[in-house]
Amino acid sequence: MAKTCILLGAAIDEGQRRPGCLMGPAAFRVAGLPQALQELGHGVEDRGDVRVVPDQSAECPNPAVHSLAEVVGMANALRKATDEALSTGFPIIMGGDHSLALGSVAGAAAHAAAKGKPLFLLWLDAHSDFHTPLTTTSGNLHGTPVAYCAGREGFDAFGPFPAPIPPENICLFGIRSVDPAEHAALLNHDIEINDMRVLDEHGIVKPLRDFLNKVAAAGGMLHVSLDVDFLDPSIAPAVGTTVPGGTTIREAHLVMELLHESALVTSLDLVELNPFLDDRGRTARLMVDLVASLMGRKVFDRPTRSYSGA
């Protein structure tokens, strides 16, 4: 089914300390994301990069936290932009580092709550991003969005998360780098964790289909947050947080194809692309190809699998 894809640029790299992610939205455009979507029959509305007003009143008692005003400003802008985009189409948020999800997922949650639907979150990432502004020792806020979405404390500067996502509605998929403090906190939350050990033992398909069946059974909306480091750095070098042992090109495309067949995805983040670290646009083009698979590009048409929850 054709969608109206609404592109939102989130030019931010203050959520971590390596410059370059703010060039991500431009790189996705140059790599042909709008054209790829149009070739698949989707409408495309590029609303440009969201305008960010840093929140100079934002405070955090943890002295390690940096760039709080800028990250809160982006979160505020994206919360509103994502909520509005969901009213008329399928938002694709082009980052930017993963701190942008503090706003994009909040906007999706606000929209889902207004429609009386549960929101589910699929986190495709090497990291669990389950720190809070109070527990982070690096001070990098790109490592905090999942904790915010799950309703953990310590996010006073961002305001209450609209309708916190029940932990059982969150799936961490492909993770392979978790700090001790995050590990301890995750043990107290019923979040579905499919790390690379699980995927190695059981494969990609069953854990993902099980989660998608849960979304379908609940009549939920699904926000997907795709981090470049979900992929192995040998195929996607343009990321500042490389962790060996990520998914292959074929595995990543399989994930995207299964998501397309489910027809459950309602919004999408593309994050942590740092064009300064790329090899002649290699990573940007791969990410565009993955989005195309999510949006319906196939080598051979097959009957669509039913996700009835059965």
d(CA 18, CA 120): 30
pLDDT of residue 98: 98
Q: Are 37 and 4 in contact (CB under 8 A)?
A: no
Dihedrals phi, psi of 223, to nearest 5 degrees: -100, 130
Q: Alpha-carbon dihedral of residues 106, 123, 152, 187, nearest 10 degrees? A: 160
d(CA 24, CA 287): 11
d(CA 192, CA 205): 15
- Which residue's entry shows tokens 């646009």? 281
pLDDT of residue 300: 65
98 has catalytic annotation? yes
pLDDT of residue 307: 65
| Tokens read off for 75 | 């979160």
Report the length, in residues, of the chain: 310
pLDDT of residue 310: 44
Catalytic residue among 42, 111, 127, 253: 127
Q: Which stretches in the chain have pLDDT values below 50?
A: 309-310
pLDDT of residue 206: 97
Catalytic residue among 49, 55, 272, 289: 272
Enumerate the H helices of the chain as residue ranges. 24-30, 33-39, 68-86, 101-115, 145-149, 180-186, 196-202, 205-218, 249-262, 282-294
pLDDT of residue 229: 97
Closest CA to 222 of 201, 238, 243, 208: 208
pLDDT of residue 93: 99
Catalytic residue among 98, 111, 253, 260: 98
Show the CA angle centred on residue 127, arms to residues 309 and 150, nearest 5°. 55
129 has catalytic annotation? yes
111 has catalytic annotation? no
Q: What is the tens place of the pLDDT at every residue in 82-140?
A: 999 999 999 999 999 999 999 999 999 999 999 999 999 999 999 999 999 999 999 99
Contacts of 104 (CB under 8 A, 6+ apart): 8, 10, 78, 79, 82, 91, 93, 223, 225, 267, 269
pLDDT of residue 1: 84
272 has catalytic annotation? yes
Contacts of 138 (CB under 8 A, 6+ apart): 17, 64
156 has catalytic annotation? no
260 has catalytic annotation? no
Catalytic residue among 14, 227, 251, 257: 227
CB atoms within 10 A of CB 51: 8
